[in-house]
């Protein structure tokens, strides 16, 4: 039995998701004729209380479109140093939008309003214009950490009174909503644009949606076309997203509970040097130096797949194809390592 904890992107569509996809009513979306895509965009916009949505092939594309629409060439955006838009999008902010990035070092990926206040550039020709603040929730490299909505509110108020855009990389926003019981409508109020992945914990095979105002989405559609992301009968994919929203949101709490048991077991393992707080479906831990090769060998032998951050740090991500049988086997292996 393979225990694949590399990412929550590795899930395979269930039979009922595939049935929903196969029976989708589709058309050419570039010609605005795919009503399944429109249904998905509307449904997600409504959950967050935003005006409109735009279906895209990936979360990288929804983030990159948002950056392009928020900024002009030469501007600067501010984000946390571990954020996806800086580390994992191929340097797209520079190559797609011609902007620079100011990195702040946060608390497990989270920024505070005071940090942001201190880092906005003054209006002086020496400095790039600060245009956009981008937050990530949950923070992937922060170990799936969640923001307090009170901090987001303060950051949003600051952005709005200082003419700064505010974007959310919400690849795993539903994990945060389920873990903290926050209200998605608050996110729609506090952010100008939100990127949401359907292909992570929600279990769809492909797709992300950008949410924003009608005007912002109108502009985003042209950018999506220029990035090569205008798709035709992609309603088959959107149908998987609709299925995921209807069936796979509340079950995220199961992924969180399984992550919690892994976290608690690791906490008692002598090979663990340190471990990030565990709030959602991500567990990040550092292995003690003299245990590294042994632990990784045991993982390999038992077909435990993981992501590696550097030479001694491992990330496990729980997801809908990681069930209780697999959890039991994993915990047994972890406890057996001495
Ligand atoms: C996965 C992810 C994205 C988008 O990734 P794609 O693979 O391009 O869909 C964006 N932000 C975060 C935090 C992610 O984890």
pLDDT tens digits for range 238-255? 999 999 999 999 999 999
Q: How far is the CA of 82 from the centre of ligand 1 (A)?
A: 13
Q: How confident is the model at residue 309 (pLDDT cuts 50, 70, 90)?
A: very high
Q: Helices (DSSP H) in the chain: which residue ranges?
A: 15-22, 35-48, 59-70, 84-87, 92-97, 113-119, 149-161, 173-180, 184-190, 214-226, 235-247, 252-267, 292-301, 324-336
pLDDT tens-place string over residues 13-34: 999 999 999 999 999 999 999 9
**Which of 85, 86, 88, 93 to mutate to test ligand 1, by most ligand atoms within 8 A of the CB atom?**
88
Closest of 69, 137, 135, 58 to residue 99, by C-alpha: 69
Is the pLDDT at 133 greater than 90? The verdict is: yes
Q: Which pLDDT value is given to residue 248?
A: 98
Edge to edge, the sheet with strand 272-275 lists: 272-275, 282-287, 313-317, 307-309
Q: Residue 226 has what DSSP assignment? A: H
The rounded distance, in Å, linking the Cα atoms of 329 and 326 is: 5
Q: Give the contacts of 332 (CB within 8 A, at least 6 positions apart).
A: none
Q: What is the pTM of this model?
A: 0.97
pLDDT tens-place string over residues 141-162: 999 999 999 999 999 999 999 9
The rounded distance, in Å, linking the Cα atoms of 293 and 283 is: 20
Average pLDDT estimate for 300-304: 97
Q: How far is the CA of 89 from the centre of ligand 1 (A)?
A: 8
The rounded distance, in Å, linking the Cα atoms of 158 and 72 is: 21
Measured by CA distance, the residue closest to atom 2 of ligand 1 is 171
Characterize 85-119 residue by residue with b for buried, 16 or more Cβ atoms within 10 angstroms of its Cβ, and e for exposed: bbeebeebbeebbebebbebebebbbbbbebbeee
Q: How far is the CA of 35 from the centre of ligand 1 (A)?
A: 26
Whether the CB-CB separation of 330 and 3 falls below 8 Å is answered with yes
Measured by CA distance, the residue closest to atom 6 of ligand 1 is 59
Orientation of helix 15-22 relative to helix 235-247, angle to 10°: 140
Is the pLDDT at 50 greater than 90? The verdict is: yes
Cα-atom radius of gyration of the chain, to the nearest Å? 20
CB atoms within 10 A of CB 199: 23
pLDDT tens-place string over residues 197-239: 999 999 999 999 999 999 999 999 999 999 999 999 999 999 9
What does residue 116 show for φ and ψ, rounded to 5 degrees?
Answer: -70, -45
The rounded distance, in Å, linking the Cα atoms of 330 and 336 is: 10
Burial of 70 (0-12, 13-18, 19+ CB in 10 A): buried
Q: How far is the CA of 331 from the centre of ligand 1 (A)?
A: 28
The three-state (H, E, C) secondary structure of 100-161, written as one string = EEEEECCECCECCHHHHHHHCCCCCCCCCCEEEEEEECCECCCCCECCCHHHHHHHHHHHHH
Task: Output the CA torsion sign for 177, 267, 108, 241.
Answer: negative
Q: How confident is the model at residue 287 (pLDDT cuts 50, 70, 90)?
A: very high
The length of the chain is 338
Q: Which pLDDT value is given to residue 325?
A: 98
Average pLDDT estimate for 47-69: 98
For β-strands 193-197 and 208-212, DSSP reports them as antiparallel
Tell me whether the omega of the peptide bond preceding residue 138 falls within 30 degrees of 0, making it cis: yes
What's the chain's average pLDDT? Answer: 98
Q: Give the contacts of 28 (CB within 8 A, at least 6 positions apart).
A: 34, 232, 233
The rounded distance, in Å, linking the Cα atoms of 189 and 169 is: 15
The percentage of the chain sitting over the pLDDT mark of 90, rounded to a whole number, equals 99
Q: How far is the CA of 101 from the centre of ligand 1 (A)?
A: 18
pLDDT tens-place string over residues 310-323: 999 999 999 999 99
Q: Which pLDDT value is given to residue 90?
A: 98
Is the pLDDT at 338 greater than 90? The verdict is: no
Residues with CB under 6 A from ligand 1: 58-60, 63, 84, 136, 140, 169, 171, 197, 199-200, 208
């Amino acid at each position: 039995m393979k225990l694949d904890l590399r990412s929550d992107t590795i899930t395979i569509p269930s039979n009922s998701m595939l049935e929903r996809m196969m029976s989708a009513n589709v058309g050419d979306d570039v010609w605005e004729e795919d009503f399944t895509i429109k249904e998905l965009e509307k449904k997600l916009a409504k959950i967050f209380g935003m005006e409109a949505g735009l279906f895209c092939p990936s979360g990288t594309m929804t983030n990159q479109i948002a950056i392009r629409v928020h900024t002009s060439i030469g501007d600067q955006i501010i984000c946390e140093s571990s954020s996806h838009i800086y580390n994992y999008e191929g340097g797209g902010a520079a190559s797609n939008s011609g902007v620079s990035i100011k990195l702040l070092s946060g608390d497990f990926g989270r920024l505070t309003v005071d940090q942001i206040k201190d880092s906005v550039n003054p209006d002086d020709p020496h400095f790039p214009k600060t245009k956009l603040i981008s937050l990530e929730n949950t923070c992937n490299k922060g170990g799936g950490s969640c923001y307090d909505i009170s901090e987001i509110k303060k950051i949003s108020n600051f952005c709005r009174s200082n003419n700064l855009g505010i974007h959310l990389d919400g690849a795993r926003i539903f994990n945060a909503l389920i873990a903290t019981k926050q209200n998605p409508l608050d996110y729609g109020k506090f952010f100008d644009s939100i990127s949401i992945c359907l292909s992570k914990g929600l279990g769809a095979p492909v797709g992300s949606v950008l949410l924003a105002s009608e005007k912002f989405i109108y502009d985003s559609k042209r950018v999506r076309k220029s990035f090569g992301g205008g798709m035709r009968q992609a309603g088959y994919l959107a149908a998987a997203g609709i299925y995921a929203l209807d069936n796979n949101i509340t079950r995220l709490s199961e992924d969180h509970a399984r992550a919690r048991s892994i976290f608690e077991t690791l906490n008692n393992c002598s090979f663990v040097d340190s471990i990030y707080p565990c709030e959602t479906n991500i567990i990040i831990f550092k292995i003690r130096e003299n245990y590294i090769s042994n632990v990784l060998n045991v993982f390999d032998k038992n077909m435990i797949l993981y992501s590696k951050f550097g030479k001694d740090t491992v990330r496990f991500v729980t997801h809908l194809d990681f069930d209780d049988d697999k959890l039991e086997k994993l915990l047994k292996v972890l406890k057996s390592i001495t």
